Structure formats: C-alpha cells, structure tokens
Amino acid sequence: MNEENFRQSEKLVSASYVRQGVQARRGHEQLIRTLLEQGKCPEEGWNESTIELFLNELAVMDSNNFLGNCGVGEREGRVASDLVARRHYRLIHGIGRSGDIAAVQPKAAGSSLLNKITNSVVLDVLRFSGVRSVSSCFVVPMATGMSLTLCFLTLRHRRPSARYIIWPRIDQKSCFKSMVTAGFEPVVVENLLEGDELRTDLEAVEKKIEELGAENILCVHSTTSCFAPRVPDRLEELAVMCAKYSIPHIVNNAYGVQSSKCMHLIQQGARVGRIDAFVQSLDKNFMVPVGGAIIAGFDEDFIKEISKTYPGRASASPSLDVLITLLSLGASGYKKLLSERKELYTHLAQELKILADRHGERLLHTPHNPISLAMSLDGLQTNCDKAVTQLGSMLFTRQVSGARVVPLGVEQTVSGHTFHGFMSHSDAYPCPYLNAASAIGIGKKDVELSIKRLDKCLKTLKKDTKGEKNESLANNKIKALPRDLFSDLDSLIELDLRGNAFECDCRAKWLMLWVKNTNASVSDIMCAGPEEMKGKRLNDMTSLHDECISTDFIPLQSVMTESLSVDTFSHKNDVYVTIAAPNIESCMVLQWDHIEMNFRSYDNITGQSIVGCKSVIIQNLVFMIVAQLFGGSHIYKFDEDQSKFTKFQDIEVSKISKPNDIETFQIGDEWFFIIADSSKAGLSTLYKWNDKGFYSYQSLHEWFRDTDAEFVNLDGKAHLILASRSQVPVIYQWSKSAQKFVVQGEIPNMEDVVAVKAFWIIEDLYLAMTRYIGDSKVLHWTAKHFSEIQALPSRGSMILQPFSFKERHYLALGSDYTFSQIYLWNPEDKVFERFKEVYIQAPRSFTMVSTYRRDFIFASSFKGSTQIFEHIIIDLSL
C-alpha cells in the first residue's frame, strides 16, 4: 500500500480509519528504514508481522515473483511445491553469483538485499559481543568444518608452496577433517597438562614452525570454544607468534560468540598480533537450524577473497534463519540470552560440584573454559571398567542429551591419523570424566533435571557393583568422623551412630550435608559440643554456613609503579582499572584478562604529574577525567575502533590550582563531576555534562584547601561533603530551585579530616572520616545528623576506605608508618573489629574491583608498588 492506494481507500472506508492504518503501516516502515540505514541489529526485537512484511517486500523484488514474468533460462526460481515456496518466503534465488557468494544477482534484488543486510546485522552482533574491531564478515551456508576448509583453500592461493597446518590438538573430527579435505597435512601439537586443564604448548608450536620452516606452513589453526578440560588456546601468544613468523592464523570459534571470554581472546589476539579469520557456527550461537556459519576477520580484502573462493550460488536459508532470529530477539534479547547463559554456567558448576562431592568425585578445576565443565569418574572406573561407558548410554536413554562421557584409553583413527586417548584431547589424561556445558538457550530446568537423572544413574551403577548393607558405629565414643567416610557407600541401607558424643562444629558440616542427602536410614546424631549445641540433634540442623566460613585477603599481583589513586569501570563485559602514577607521568589502564586470570596492561594516557584518573560512563560512552598538577587537566574518550582513549576536551581549570580528588555523580538525568582543590588560592569546582562535553558549572568555597569530596544521598536528597585540613567538613545540599549546591551545615568536632567516604550497611548510612594523626572516626546518620559510633587509632593515615564483598563489610585504614589495618563489621555489636594487617608503603587509596566471579582490592602506594589483593572465601569445614 502506497500513498496513492491509501487515498483511494478513503473513498471506500472512513478517512479517519484509513489514517490509523497509515500510521500503523508507517510504524512498520520506520523500523525497516532504520534497519536499512544503520545496518545494525535493532535494540528491541520486532514482532512477527513486521518481519513478515519486510520479507514479503524483499520477495517481490525477485524476478520469480514479478507479475507477468516470463523465464526461459535454466534457473528461474521455479518451485514445484507451494509449501516449499512458503517455507522460504518465496525467496528462491539464493545468494551470490557463480564467482562470488557476496555478489548481487541481477534477477534477485530482494535476495541480494537480504544477503547484504544479514551480513551487516551479524557483523554488528560480533562487535557488541566482544570483537569490536572486526571489519568484515559473511554468512556461508556450510557448517563450521567446511567453512574452515574454505578458509584454508583461500590461503592456498596466497601460499602455494605451503603444505602443513599447525594445529593444537582438539578431539573433534570435523576440525581435523577440515584440514585434510583442503589437501593439507595437519601437524598435531599435543597440549600441556596444567593442573586439570589442557593448555596450548607454545614452545612446541614454535619448535614446529622452526622445524618445518615458516614458508611451508599454510597457517596456525587454533581453537576457542571446546570441551573441558581442554580450554581455549593461548590466542594472544599464538597471534604474536604468527605475526613474528608471518604465518596466517585461522581461529575455530565454533560456539564462542556466546562467550565474552572467547570473543575477548579474539579481540586481544588481533590487537597484539595476527588473526586472519575466525569461524563460528550459526546453530550453536544463534539457535537456528544446522547448516550455516559466519566467516569474519579484520582484513576486509581477505574476507572478500574467501567469499570469492566459494564456487557457485548458495542457499539463502541460513541467512534467512539468522536474520529472522536476530530481528525477533533484538540486541537486548540476544544480550539477555548471553547473560542468562553465563549465570546458568555458575549454577551448573555449583550443582555438579555438589553432585561430585556426594559421589566421591570432583569437579575438575577448569577456570579458563567459560562454557564447558567436567566431572571426574574415577569411582566408576575403579568399580568396573565398563561402568564409565555404560553411564553414557544410560544418560542417553534417559533423555539427557549433550552430556559427554570420556573413558580412558580410547584409540580413534581419523583420516589416517591415530589419536590416543581420543575425546580427551590428550594421549594420557589422568582420569575418565563427564562433560556438561552451559550453552546459549539452556534453562534452569535443564540443569536441575539433568543433575537429578545423572545422580540416579551414578547410584544405580554403584549399586550394581556393590552389595547393599547396614553399618553400625554405635557406642564408640566418636567425636568426629573422617570427611566423606560414606561417599562410596551408595548401597548403604542403614547407619547406626547412637551412643556417640559428636562435636557439632565445622568438622561435622560434611556429615550434616550427607545426612540431608542420603537415602539411607540414619540414627540420631547427638551433639556434645560446642556449648551452644549440647543436647541437640545434628540431623535437625539446616546450616553451619556462617560458623564455617571465613575470608582472607591474599596478594595476587603487583604493578611496579608508585601511584596516588585507583579507579575502576566496566564496559561491554570487560573490567578495567585505571592507576594515576605521577612519577611516570601516566594514567595506566589495565584490563582483566579472562583467560590468564590477571590484570594486564591495556592503554596508557600520558601527561604531567597526573594525580587522578576518574571514569564516567554516559550513554554507553566511556570518558576518563585526568587531573594534573601542571599543564591543565583533560577529558579522554574511549575510541572503540582503536581500542584506546583519545583526548576529548580540555577542562577549564582557571580556578583549579592543586587538584586533589575527583568525584563523579548523577542527579536526576544530569551528570556532574567535582574536582577538590587543596591549594589556598584554588576553588573546588563542579562541572556539568551538556551532551557535547563538560563545562564549569559552580565554584564552591575558597581558601579552605579541600582534600576530598564525597557525594551522598541524605534522606532522598543529593548532598556533597567537602573535607579540608583547615576546617571541619562542610555539607552542601542540592537546591532544585536554584539548580546549585548550597551550604547546609558542618560536621562538628571533626577537625583535620583528610578524606570522607560514605557507605551503607543494609539500610543504614555511615561516614568513614580519615585523620592523619589521632583517631579516624566512623559516623552514623540518625535523626538528621551524624553521630560518632567508633574511633580507630590513626598513625599517618591518608585513607579510611569502606568496601564490601559477599555481604561482609570492611574498612581499610592506611598508615604511612606501620602496617595498614583491615577491619570487619560485627553485625551483632555494630562495630568494626580488627581483621587483618597488610603492609603497603604510604597507601593513598583502597579500591574495590570485582570481575565475574572474583573480588579484589587495589592498594595504591606513594612510595612503592601498587598492590593487588584477592578477597577469598575459606570453608573451615574442609
């Protein structure tokens, strides 16, 4: 329906009704227009009527759907079955031409447009999933193995004398066959066993390159997504090695799009070295039918070369399927699926660990694999050699699909090469195991039902190898039993523990859990201690969690530079840390490495005597405020194309003489930051965002040498607290009418405060007031004022920093002269108690940084290295 047809419709139906229809039609058309203009996955998913309208509009652009079309060629888009035509939305011509799968077909403008739009939308998805610098991609109607073959065949033209492909071993037949089918000889590099994990042997790879000669090697063929205990290859190191020897690098990223870790690896590999192309499956990553893949890369010319290697036209079905799916989900829907998958990975790991502990097995420690998990099956192997393989068939017949049982000693010949220990990615992995994966689309019900059925299968197998029995340990004056004493007794019918005097402390936690989960009949287990447990039944207890859990801070890493402050921010599934290091005139940017599990250098902003780096994210854009003692202060913006910060604007600093602290905050929809000025001549100044940059908005009190600023919400109203060495802290309140901060009052009896930090414990607000000498204070907000609840002795303290992990609240009190103290909140007495001493030279800040599953504290040091401590949970029952 065009404008003329709508006007004609008004002759038949009320004009007001037609106008409503026109508006509804324009709503659909606006979505389509935006898609064609931007070529990106829409943020919100489309409904089916919009998608079908779009596809029908594309179909009528193909010649086979022209009214009165007369075809006399051998391929005219003829379809014998109407059902088949409807299945393909009458888009019959496929994609590409005989010389190029990405080329436009004169007969099929609609199908060609479908192909272009799909490739553009998929490119956008790859970028927001983590590979931000990918430049080109196309959908190919072949699964991952044949798509890899296409990449290798394309490289043949560039390296005609090459014969070998270096391949860190992964036991999947299609990966191996993709190289053989292309006519090359795979050079299998065995993996290194590190703990439970199988990792890339970089030394062996380099040795093979030198042995065979770089000119004889077609490429290195690496892998991201894989079955545990194999973990993603060390992609960055391989990429650097490929760049060093000028060898192409092809990455098998089969189901890696759904993992931010795998995508991060590819992005980093391309940034520091060489990755020519990476291939991913459509069905595994986007939940569409099998038969399609995405070939992507960072060199647009090379990706075009691959597309031209594909012979003939191609089916449009995979392109159609993935486009419909992504338009239905939208970017937000797809990101939600990624987030749910990640959460369920943690849930699956927890449930597998509980199950493993119950059966005397263990969850293999494979932290570098973000999708797949593995549980040992040593117990089954010990009981009966056939029990391991029998478990696999039992799971399959009980409709548990995807679980993969890997026995020891399997030999398999694939295309003439014999693999020992096949399926385990190693000639001699130490134990048999079972794989389970948290892949996109998995639900909580899938996890719980599979765990329940696996538990039953394990019990059945053990019962078949052991006779049922009763056990009695009655009247033996037993106080404690060895951990997991009954783990192998799944055929146990009855257990008698009467007449003993158990200590029901942390040592009995395992017994309490075993009693709750066993099918055996267990007598009363009476507690003789500790004092509060005397006379109680262990059988009745529901938890010993609080009594058996402690925490600690352990050194993880050092950054070999002095520093004044540390800040952190998260962006697109990555965690970053910035360190202000004036002695090397740098604002260092670190990034959490999901694979190596440490913080690595990412970027470096240089300046003159940098004293503060503070991030703020506005409308998904990352800005870095860099305060300097000399040369003015500046704001940098993160450039995603270059993966680095570039200067965005200079800060108007005519009133700033000696910046000492930066605080960012939001009031309503408005963004602000304040720079606290510690000189007599300077003014602490507030800056405001105006969609183009930050500008000077308000100057606060002068002549007070402000050392710290803290934004806090008091009784639903925005406030600023300024700390100063020359007067007590001043409280400003935001005036909605004046749209400025106005002085509200002071915090009395708090002279010589160098820093103030606000924090919440449940619903109560507190302030941590730092004093260099004397007592630092903890204040509590009650009845419209702050009152002191605790004094902490200070010896050269420049920071008293609150932070919390896992519902535990801490204070870190720095010291220039002795050990810094970490205090832990006692919720019963409502005070902080001394918890741990740490030695840091002249600490200036303590900054909490959390990654997906780990927590850290960065301690900046004015006279030594910046220290990173990890917060760990200790189970005292182990």
- For residue 568, give the 3-state DSSP assignment: strand
| Overall CATH class of domain 554-559+751-878 | mainly beta
Task: Using alpha carbons only, give the angle 622, 628, 632 rounded to the nearest 5 degrees.
Answer: 90
Distances (CA, A) of 650 to 129, 234, 647, 710: 32, 40, 8, 24
What is the widest separation between alpha-carbon atoms in the chain? 99
> What pLDDT digit, counting tens, does each position of 56-115 carry?
999 999 888 888 888 877 777 888 899 998 999 999 989 988 778 888 888 889 999 999
148 residue type, one letter: L
In 177-292, beta strands by DSSP E: 185-189, 192-194, 197-199, 217-223, 249-252, 277-281
> CB 369: neighbour CB atoms within 10 A?
25
pLDDT at 411: 92
Residue-by-residue DSSP string for 82-125: HHHHHHTTT--S-BSBTTBTTSPBTTBHHHHHHHHHHHHHHHHH
- CATH number for the domain running over 338-443: 3.90.1150.10
pLDDT band at 25 (very low <50, low <70, confident <90, very high): confident
Q: What is the CA radius of gyration of the chain?
A: 32
Strands 644-650 and 659-667: unpaired
Asked if 415 and 165 count as a contact pair (C-beta separation under 8 A), the reply is no
**How many angstroms from the chain centroid is the CA of residue 196?**
22
Give me the long-range contacts of 62-67 (CB less than 8 A, separation at least 24).
Answer: 62/90, 62/91, 62/92, 62/93, 62/107, 62/108, 62/109, 62/110, 62/111, 63/93, 63/107, 63/108, 64/90, 64/92, 64/93, 64/107, 64/108, 65/90, 65/110
Q: What is the mean pLDDT of the chain?
A: 92
344-391 pLDDT, tens per residue?
999 999 999 999 999 999 999 999 999 999 999 998 876 666 788 889
**Contact (Cβ atoms closer than 8 angstroms) between residue 644 and residue 627:** no
Q: Helix 317-358 and helix 444-465: axis angle, to 10°?
A: 50
pLDDT digit string, tens, across residues 421-454:
999 999 999 999 999 999 999 999 999 999 999 9
Q: Which uninterrupted H or E stretch holds 154?
A: helix 144-158
Report how far residue 701's alpha carbon sits from residue 746's, in angstroms, rounded to the nearest whole number: 13
| Other residues' Cβ atoms within 10 Å of the Cβ of residue 278 | 32
- Residues facing 665 on adjacent strands: 672
Tokens 């005070």 -> residue:
831
* Per-residue pLDDT reduced to its tens digit, 164-213: 999 999 999 999 999 999 999 999 999 999 999 999 999 999 999 999 99
Residue with token string 């939940």: 287
Q: Which of 260, 181, 183, 273 is nearest to 222 (CA)?
A: 273
Give the DSSP H/E element, type plus range, for residue 392.
helix 387-397
The separation between the first and the last C-alpha atoms of the chain, rounded to the nearest angstrom, is 72
Q: What is the mean pLDDT of residues 400-412?
A: 92
Question: pLDDT band at 657, cuts 50/70/90?
Answer: confident
In 3D space, the residue among 690, 625, 634 whose CA is nearest the CA of residue 663 turns out to be 625
Rounded to 5 degrees, what angle do the CA atoms 813, 815, 820 make? 55
With a cut of 70, say whether residue 547 has pLDDT above it.
no
The neighbour count for residue 72, using CB atoms within 10 Å, is 5
What's the rounded Cα separation, in Å, for the pair 208 and 220? 11
pLDDT at 843 over 70: yes
CB 871 within 8 A of CB 553: yes
Where do the domains of the chain lie?
A: 1-33, 109-330, 338-443, 469-543, 554-559+751-878
- Dihedrals φ, ψ of 549, to 5°? -120, 130
Determine the 3-state secondary structure of 759 from DSSP.
Answer: strand
Residue 164 token pair: 């070998």
Least confident of 39-53, 83-97, 405-419, 455-469: 455-469
Q: What are phi and psi of 797, to 5 degrees?
A: -95, 125
Ramachandran angles phi, psi of 60, nearest 5°? -70, -10
The secondary structure of residue 476, as a DSSP letter, is S
pLDDT band of 878, cuts 50, 70, 90: low
| Residue the block writes with tokens 């020519």 | 276
Q: Are 377 and 434 in contact (CB under 8 A)?
A: yes
CB contact at 8 A, 264 and 130: yes
CATH number for 109-330 (one of 3.40.920.10, 3.20.20.70, 3.40.640.10, 2.20.25.90): it is 3.40.640.10
Which of 259, 244, 302 shows the shortest CA–CA distance to 277? 302
3-state secondary structure of 599: strand
User: Cα–Cα distances in Å, from 4 out to 8, 26, 699, 743?
Assistant: 6, 14, 61, 65
* 549-570: average pLDDT: 94
Average pLDDT over residues 633-641: 93
Fold of 469-543: 3.80.10
Residue with tokens 């002269």, as numbered in its chain: 817
* pLDDT, tens only, 378-400: 988 766 667 888 898 889 888 89
Distance CA 670, CA 688 (A): 8
